Amino acid sequence: METEAQAITNFLTEKISAYSKVPVSELPADKALEDIGLSSLDIVMISGEIEDEFDIEIDPSVIFDSKTINEVVEKVLKSKD
Amino acid sequence: MRSEDHHIVRDMALAKQAISHGSLISKGHTLISFLDEVQDKCNLDLGNVSCVVRNFPFFMEGERHTQMRQRVLKHMGTVASLKSWEDYFDTSLRKALNTIDLDQETDLVSAFIDPFLQEITCTLLGLTMEDPHKFRQCTDLAEMLLDPLLPIRALKQMEAAFTDFFEEILSKEIKETGSGSPLLAELLKKPVPGYTKKDTCAFVLVVYAGTLALRYTLANMIFHIVSGGETIKAQAVSKEWVNTHLEHLIRDTMAVRKVSRMAKENCRIGELDFEKGHTVFIDMQAAHYGTEAECPMHKGKKWDDETLDNKTHMAFGKGSHYCLGANFSKFILSKVLPELFTRYPDMRLVNTTPDLMEHTQILSVRTLKCYMRN
C-alpha cells in the first residue's frame, strides 16, 4: 500500500514534470530542484495544487527554499501534522 | 534555491548597487502579467488585486509615479508637513500609554504599539473601515504583495478583501480633522492626473500597509533597547540620545528580510551577470549583518560607541523608491522612545528570547511581553 510520503512524492513529481517538461523518469526524489529550472509561476502553481490536493496551506517559498523533492515532501508532511 | 530565473544578493556593496540600478526594476509589470496568467490558468477574477498592484508605489515607475510621489511628500513626507499634526500625535501617544498605565505586565505590541500606530496613521491618511478586523486583514494582505512568490490562496483572499475595501471606502466621505486634511481627502479633492478614485484609494491603502513596517521596527527597537541593559534604557529617556542614535537603532532593528527586483535587460553588476527577466532577491539581513549572522534579534547586544556610530543602512530603500513614510517613521520613533522609557524606567522583558513572526519577508517580534514596573 502507498504511504502518505510516497503519495505526496508521486503527486509532486508529476506536477514538477508537467510544469518543467522534464520526464518523471528524470526526476528522482533526491534530484536538486535548482537543476530543474522551475519558474516563479511554476512554483506558485505547484504549491497551489499541493494545497488543493492535500488540504493544507503551503507557501511557494517552501518549494523555493527546498533543495530536493524529498525536502519538500518532508515539509508538506510536517504541515499536515 | 537558485533556480533558472533567480539570483540572491547578500553583499552590502552589491545590494546598494542592485537596489537602485537602472536595469533592475520593481516586479510590478511582471506581477501584472503573473496575475493575468494565474487568472487564465485558474479561472479567477483578480481585477481588484491588479488595481492595487498598479498603484503600489514600490512597483511604479515613470511620470505617473513621480507626480503622485511629489504630492504625497509635500503633504506628509517632510518634517515641516508633519508639524501641524504634532500636537495630535503627542496627545494620542499619551492616551495610548495611559491605557497601559495600570498594567503590571503587558504585551506592548497588542496593547500599545498596534492601537497607537493604527489610530494615528489611519487619521493621517484618512482611511477607516467599519470593521477594524476586516481593515487589518486588508492591509496585511496588501503588504503581502511584496512577497515575490504569492500563494494562489492569498490572491483569492486579497481579491475578496480588496473588493470589500473599495466598496466601503468609495461610498463614504473622508472627514477633515483639526490637525489638517488627511491624505486621501486631499488626493480625492485634487486628483493626481492618471488616477481614478479607485486608483487613489488603492494607492493610499498601500501607503498604509507600508506604515506597518514602522510597527515592526518600533517593536523590534523596544525589544532591542530593553534587552540592552539598564544603562541603555536609561539613555533612551533622552530625546537627544534617541535622535543622535536613531539611524543606528533603525539599522539594527529594521524588519525587511528581502527586496526583489527584476532585470529589464541583460546587465552586469559587480561580478554578477543578470539576464533580462531574471528576478534578483536582495537579502537585506545578510547584506547588513553578514551571511553568518543568525537572526539579529538573537545576537548579543553591542552598545559601544563604535557600534552606535554605524548608521549605514538601506531600511528605507534607495533612489526613486525611497520610502515615502521615512520621515514620518523617524518623527514617531523619536517621540515614542523617550516618552515610553521615561514613563517606565523599570520596564523589563518577560522573556528574553524574542517571539518572532513567521514571515518570509518580515523580521519582527510578534509579541513583546514586558513587566512595566519593578
Distance CA B21, CA B7 (A): 15
Q: Which residue of B has its CA nearest to A34?
A: B3
At residue B1 the predicted structure's pLDDT band, cuts being 50, 70 and 90, is: very low
In-domain check, residue B234:
yes
Query: CA of B312: how far to CAs of A69, B249, B251, in Å?
Result: 40, 11, 7
B148 found inside a domain: yes
Q: Assess if residue B262 is contained within a domain.
A: no
B250 CB contacts (<8 Å, ≥6 apart)?
A: B217, B221, B313, B315, B330, B333
C-alpha B42/C-alpha B49 separation (Å) is 15
Domain that includes residue A25, residue range: 4-80
CA-to-CA separations, B287 to B152, B290, B319, in angstroms, rounded: 30, 6, 18
pLDDT tens per residue, range B338-348: 999 999 999 99
**Domain of B340?**
14-257+287-371
Tens-digit pLDDT profile for chain A (81 aa)? 678 899 999 999 999 999 999 999 999 999 888 888 887 778 888 998 999 888 888 888 888 888 899 999 999 998 877
State the CATH number of the domain containing residue A42: 1.10.1200.10
Query: Which residue from B1, B2, B149 is facing A44, i.e. has the nearest CB?
Result: B149
> Shortest CA distance to B10 belongs to which of B317, B310, B274, B288?
B288
B149 and chain A in contact, CB less than 8 A: yes
- Closest to B366 measured CA to CA, from B151, B205, B212: B212
In three-state secondary structure terms, A59 is: coil
**Probe site for chain A from B4, B146, B262, B358 (most A CB atoms < 10 A):** B4
What are the CA-CA distances from residue B272 to residues B15, B77, B212 (Å)?
Answer: 12, 35, 33
State how far the Cα of B337 lies from the Cα of A4, in Å rounded to an integer: 52
pLDDT of residue B148: 67
Does the distance separating the beta carbons of B6 and A40 come in below 8 Å? yes
Q: What is the tally of structural domains in chain B?
A: 1
For residue A62, give how far its alpha carbon lies from the nearest alpha carbon of chain B (Å).
10
Q: What average pLDDT does the segment B137-165 reach?
A: 89
Residue carrying the nine cell digits 492616551? B95
Q: What confidence score (pLDDT) does residue B40 get?
A: 87
Candidate from A4-8, B166-170, B319-323, B350-354 with smallest mean pLDDT: B319-323
| CA distance, residue B34 to nearest chain A CA (Å) | 7
More confident site: B141 or A79: B141
Residue B294 in domain: yes
Q: B134-138, B236-240, B255-259, B344-348: which range is least confident on average?
A: B255-259
How many residues belong to chain A?
Answer: 81
Would you call B1 and A60 a contact, using CB atoms and an 8 Å cutoff?
A: no
User: Is the residue at B3 inside a domain?
Assistant: no
Q: What's the pLDDT tens digit per position in B44-92?
A: 999 999 999 999 988 888 899 999 999 999 999 888 899 999 999 999 9
Provide mean pLDDT across the span B287-293: 77
Torsion of CA B290, B291, B292, B293, to 10 degrees: 50
User: Helices A4-20 and A40-54 sit at what angle, rounded to 10 degrees?
Assistant: 150
Chain B residues within 8 A of A36 when measuring between CB atoms: 3
* B265 within a domain of the structure (yes/no): no
Number of domains in chain A: 1
Q: With contacts defined as CB-CB under 8 Å, which chain B residues touch A65?
A: 1
- Cβ-Cβ pairs closer than 8 A, A with B, add up to 63
**Any idea what the CATH number is for the domain that residue B99 is in?**
1.10.630.10
Angle at B173 between CA B171 and CA B176, to 5 degrees: 160
